[in-house]
Structure 1
Amino acid sequence: MLSSTRTPNEKRKAFRAGLASGTIQRFPGAFTPLATRLIQEKGFEGVYLSGAVMANELGLPDIGLTTLTEVALRAAQTASATDLPVLVDADTGFGEPMNAARTTQALEDAGVAGLHIEDQVNPKRCGHLDGKDVVDTTTAVRRIRAAVSARRDPDLVIMARTDVRGVEGLTAATERAKALAGAGADAIFAEAMGSLEEFAAMRAAVDVPILANMTEFGKSELFTVQQLQDVGVDMVIFPVSLLRIAMGAIERGLDDLAANGSLRAQVPSMQTRARLYELVDYAAYAAFDDGVATFDLANNRAD
């Protein structure tokens, strides 16, 4: 009830243990804090909070327009809604090294288990679009060193994302990953890898855990969790998938309403009132405080 039953440090330790377990960690992307309840209930290991999702929810493109304040607020809301570790996209750290340090502390205060900072230039763009550019290795390394030096909880996971693969090729990407790991990154997020062989090459290049991004409509093939684990990937995210599923359903529903004047045909595919109340643990709130209005679904047309 109210929030997570686990402390941020407990979730950070769980994240680190998962990354070291030898079993790939599956982090679906939550587009709303409520979605974390389903992710947890269905047995996934963690929750991902995508920068693209946070921007898109505000009606913005993913080009670095969101602020640290906006991201920290949504990160806190998301982390408090689940017992699972939350990994948050911190873009470029919202500036240069000093900004990355402040970003780390703000997101640490928000209760996340980990964050990743990338090596794109400002303003950034989606990692699966052409025309992006990256900073030089010295600047990328300074961002990660600043983030690592700023954390107060040593269990907070600082991950380095590199977009070099899409700009300079695989060899440059593995070299950049080595430099970032050397700067203290706890894990490497190599964006827009083209094949399982490329993931295997990244695995061979660094000694820290590596992450695969299985985003739809991007540059990477949608490999299965097992395929990724077989080449040594330690963690996989599905950053925008749930948002895409939800927005697709919303659009179909609005088309039906516009065409037919009713959503009656959509009701069988909707989440029921009873299921929603179960997810938000309505009964526990009523039991905790008898001043909270109780509910009876018996008079509803359907649960």
Structure 2
Amino acid sequence: MIPGSHDTISALLAKKVGFEVIYLSGAALSSSLGLPDIGIITMEDLVNRTRQIVSITNLPLIVDGDTGYGEVFNVIRLVNEIEAAGAAAIQIEDQELPKKCGHLNGKKLISKKEMVTKVKAASEASTNLKIIARTDAVQSEGIQSAINRAKEYVKAGADIIFPEALKSKEDFQMFSDAIKTPIIANMTEFGITPNISVEELKSAGVTMAIWPASSLRVSLKSIEKLYKKLKIEKTSNSSLSDMFTRKELYELLNYDSYEKIDKKIIKTILPD
């Protein structure tokens, strides 16, 4: 189980409750910047957020690299930058630009040959970064075509396959039977893929499952609720039970350790 963390504070919460790997979604990052998921965030946006999350949490981070931000040379640069930022894995998909959310209609794909070239370039550019190849072919070309694409991506160097927008447990079983490579299931809400339990996914041969935008969606609903109440009631009193207390926030941020460092520095510079 791998939760999506759209920013550093949500990543800290994931770590606090015991998750050992986290996922940075391109859609969630775009939304956190007030933008739709159509490929208009920059590589710099992604690298900066990656660096922020990894440096604070020290957790393995899977990063959604969308289409690789261009052609082969862009993919190579993305891999180099994301690996330098400390991520554990980078995900690249086979959509054309401008890309769309994987659970929308009308997606256009690059050719299998073009994606193979990108995956090969990513694999060769990586030192320790795992390469995840996502295929969005199921909707437009059918599941067998998606499987055929995935097989070629594995040959090109993909460590993990991400079949997007599958419609059933049986679809995942077809993929795992055909591809002897770890598979990711996307359990995003309100999409094409139904909510399948972790136990069912495991029985279908799925290696890992992500909830890429759940933290963002819950955060937005909670914040909207607060703002509506605040505007009507002119006070936040009725929302206090929904809030982190000051103590809880400081504990999450490890505030005490910073104070200890501060005191140590002051003592070193200005000894008693």
Task: Report the TM range for the smaller structure's normalisation.
Answer: over 0.9
Identity %: 41
1:36 equivalent to 2:25? Answer: no
Give the structure 1 partner of residue 78 of structure 2: 103
Deviation of 1:291 after TM superposition, in Å, equals: 7.4
Root-mean-square deviation over aligned CA pairs: 1.3
1:275 equivalent to 2:255? Answer: no
Superposed structure 1 runs of 4+ greater than 4 Å apart: none
1:78 equivalent to 2:34? Answer: no
- Matching residue within 122, 143, 147 for 2:118: 143
Deviation of 1:41 after TM superposition, in Å, equals: 2.2
Higher percent of residues as helix: 2
1:249-269 alpha-carbon deviations (Å, 9 max, x no partner): 000111111111111100001
Give the structure 2 partner of residue 48 of structure 1: 23
How many residues align? The count is 266
- Matching residue within 197, 202, 221 for 2:170: 197
- Matching residue within 132, 136, 158 for 2:131: 158
Contact 1:55–1:66, Cα closer than 8 Å, also in 2 = yes
Contact 1:30–1:47, Cα closer than 8 Å, also in 2 = yes
- Aligned residue identity for 2:113: T
Deviation of 1:83 after TM superposition, in Å, equals: 2.7
Deviation of 1:39 after TM superposition, in Å, equals: 1.0
Q: TM-score, normalised by structure 2?
A: 0.95
1:187 equivalent to 2:160? Answer: yes
Give the structure 1 partner of residue 210 of structure 2: 237
Trace 1:250-289 onto structure 2 (pairs within 5 A). Answer: 250-289=223-262
Deviation of 1:292 after TM superposition, in Å, equals: 8.8
Once residues 239 and 265 of structure 2 are traced to their aligned partners in structure 1, the CA distance between those partners, rounded to angstroms, is: 31
Contact 1:40–1:83, Cα closer than 8 Å, also in 2 = no
- Aligned residue identity for 2:129: L
Once residues 103 and 167 of structure 1 are traced to their aligned partners in structure 2, the CA distance between those partners, rounded to angstroms, is: 27
Trace 1:112-131 onto structure 2 (pairs within 5 A). Answer: 112-131=87-106
Give the structure 1 partner of residue 194 of structure 2: 221
Once residues 226 and 265 of structure 1 are traced to their aligned partners in structure 2, the CA distance between those partners, rounded to angstroms, is: 39
Deviation of 1:223 after TM superposition, in Å, equals: 1.0
Gaps of 5+ in 1: 1-25, 294-303
Gaps of 5+ in 2: 267-272
Deviation of 1:44 after TM superposition, in Å, equals: 1.8
Give the structure 2 partner of residue 247 of structure 1: 220
Deviation of 1:112 after TM superposition, in Å, equals: 0.3
- Aligned residue identity for 1:165: V
Q: TM-score, normalised by structure 1?
A: 0.86
1:115-164 alpha-carbon deviations (Å, 9 max, x no partner): 1000000111100000111111000100100111111x2x3101100000
Give the structure 2 partner of residue 170 of structure 1: 143
